[in-house]
Amino acid sequence: MKQQKNGLLPAISLSIAQEDGTVVVRKHPLFHPCSRRLHVMLLIMLGYFSIVFMRTNLGMAMTCMVNSTAITLNSIPDLDSVDLLVTPVSNLSSQDPASSADKCPHLIEQNENGVTATFVNDYGGSLVWDTNIQSWLFSASFYGSLLSCLPAGILADRWSPKHLLQLTCLLSICCSCLMPYFSTNFGYGAVFGLRFVMGLGEGFIMPSFNKMISQWIPTEEMSTALSIHTTGNQMAGAVGVPLAAFLCGTIYGWPSIFYVCALLGAICSRIENFNEYKTAANNKSTKVDLIKTVQPGIPYKQMLKSPALLSLLFCAFSTNLIVVLIQVYLPSFFKEVLLLSMINNGLFSAAPNIAQLVAKISWSVLMDKLKEKHISSTFACKFSQGFSSVSVSTLFILLAHYSGCETQWLSLSLVCLLCMAFATSISGFYTSLLKLAPSYTGILTSIFMLAGFAGRLITPRMVAFFNKTGSLSEWRLVFYTMAATTLFSGVFFLVFGSGETQNWDKPKQDDDTPSPVGAQQGEQEVMMVRTPVTPPKRRTNEWAVCFSILLIDIPHFLLYSLKKPHFLRQFKKAS
């Protein structure tokens, strides 16, 4: 159906009778070959993959760039009291996970002369950048994003999100191409500058993506749509990390990682240009009706006083701690604690991302189906976030106690379970973010990103503070900190979180005949793409089931595993 040409902005039809009496029609379900909404989400996912891959490739590349032997020697105050063991790790990668302690070099505390032995797993890099320098390089892009996220939210609400994403991708491609040359010729200061510039563009990613989603996806499909587009994160880990490990082992070395990333980014950016519609209203395959909405100024005061938004900020902080740990530091953990070879490190780092992808899609589809028939949107968000927070905290504690090079498969299984539990939060706080105030998605996302980037900035500094030599005891402190912050944010969201549109974002509808845009001063025509759906009647036992699982079953499992870990040993033998 062709768009009416009367100067008015159209609103999307959604096959639901809205509160103002507008009847809307949706031609296809989300998972349909002809669904334009699905096409848009897949394009967004592809763009997200390319940008995240260019941002996170430094995590795997860093393990190949640095000289681990020199870094360890510089961190040891008394070299006479330490034996440094630097041996090839090709044999370690093929060991039986249930091997005895004498096959794990880092377990050797003293030799026959009473001298402490330290094992170094070196991939043959040449750059002497210690953990403090590495933490600054990892966090450089987050400083840039912190500076640009607020302007990005305003521009995403007023300008084309597609054009913003194209500029971001172009900036990331240029920085990736320059990274190898700057690293070897100008030092880590120049690399910090490149990463900072890359971060300036990254600040536009989430506001632009979220604005496009809010314009295309109805409420009952929101969790599933978010899972599809954020799958780009897991694709970057599942495909990008093994690819980076392979490239690192070739004759071209670690510089080829950045060149291949730039090439993939250029290809994805070109494919993204085939998406001609910046909003669903511009799509010829979508039936449109007309609504006039009076949109007031941004209610900053009500936003900042909203407990629901405050709970989102806590979740954004704790979640981004985990995101950086998984995307950036997981290869380092596998290298230093599990003592994996370069290729096996890439394969092990890919497995948690694949598990996270499967869990994210499955859980979000389940939540959307339950919201249609059984549970309210708020309950779905709270249950998903609460389950994720408690499960992730539990698995961090288990990982701190049972990981090691003698339990490689058990450690990998715990990391995969942790990522699967973490994936369920996409139906929790992130879905809540897009439902609180659809009219202010861009600015809300920017506020949300401020809290998230605070977590991303703290993670590298925290890891560098605890982790000096890469020992398991140092990584345990990191895992304990992650568990505490995740649990606190989950409990806070259970109390104050919401999955419904807030009162300060309910625009006034004009019952008169729509007038042209700008007919009255102070009024703004906006597209009502997302449809408020009256939630079904809650079941009386919703919260009883939720708190039973979160406060009884999962803590009981944690206590039982710590007191009687024999079932974990049996699992380790079976692996």
Average pLDDT over residues 504-512: 55
Least confident of 13-22, 185-194, 369-378, 418-427: 13-22
- E strand segments, 232-388: 288-290, 293-294
What pLDDT, on a 0 to 100 scale, did the predictor assign at position 394?
Answer: 94
Count: domains in the chain:
1
What pLDDT, on a 0 to 100 scale, did the predictor assign at position 301?
Answer: 79
What SS3 state is found at 331?
helix
What SS3 state is found at 285?
coil
CATH number, residue 227: 1.20.1250.20
Residue 519 located in a structural domain? no
Q: pLDDT grade, residue 477 (50/70/90)?
A: very high
Q: 60 and 331 in contact (C-beta within 8 Å)?
A: yes
- E strand segments, 284-429: 288-290, 293-294
Burial of 54 (0-12, 13-18, 19+ CB in 10 A): buried
Mean pLDDT over each residue of the chain, to the nearest integer: 73
Which pairing describes strands 116-120 and 288-290: parallel, antiparallel, or unpaired?
Answer: unpaired
What pLDDT, on a 0 to 100 scale, did the predictor assign at position 522?
Answer: 35
Q: How far, in Å, CA of 447 to CA of 149, rounded?
A: 8
Q: How far, in Å, CA of 367 to CA of 154, rounded?
A: 31
Average pLDDT over residues 423-439: 82
Residue 105 located in a structural domain? no
Using a pLDDT cut of 90, give the percent of the chain over it: 15
What pLDDT, on a 0 to 100 scale, did the predictor assign at position 160?
Answer: 75
What pLDDT, on a 0 to 100 scale, did the predictor assign at position 461?
Answer: 87
Q: What residues are paired with 83 via a beta bridge?
A: 117
Within 10 Å of residue 225's Cβ, how many Cβ atoms? Answer: 24
Nearest to 381 by CA among 499, 545, 501: 499
Burial of 284 (0-12, 13-18, 19+ CB in 10 A): exposed
Q: What angle do helix axes 408-423 and 342-373 make, rounded to 10 degrees? A: 30
Q: What element of type H or E holds 60?
A: helix 36-65
Q: Domain of 423?
A: 30-68+125-509+531-574
Q: pLDDT grade, residue 486 (50/70/90)?
A: very high
Average pLDDT over residues 80-109: 45
Predicted confidence (pLDDT) per residue in 136-146, tens digit? 898 888 888 88
Predicted confidence (pLDDT) per residue in 233-246, tens digit? 888 888 888 888 88
Q: What element of type H or E holds 509?
A: strand 508-509
- E strand segments, 194-352: 288-290, 293-294
Residue 569 located in a structural domain? yes
For the residues of 227-261, what is the DSSP string, one character each? Answer: HHHTHHHHHIIIIIHHHHHHHHTSTT-THHHHHHH
Q: How far, in Å, CA of 88 to CA of 489, rounded?
A: 42
Q: 336 and 121 in contact (C-beta within 8 Å)?
A: yes
Q: How far, in Å, CA of 540 to CA of 562, rounded?
A: 34
Q: 449 and 203 in contact (C-beta within 8 Å)?
A: yes
Q: How far, in Å, CA of 479 to CA of 432, rounded?
A: 27
Residue 11 located in a structural domain? no
Residue 514 located in a structural domain? no
Average pLDDT over residues 165-186: 89
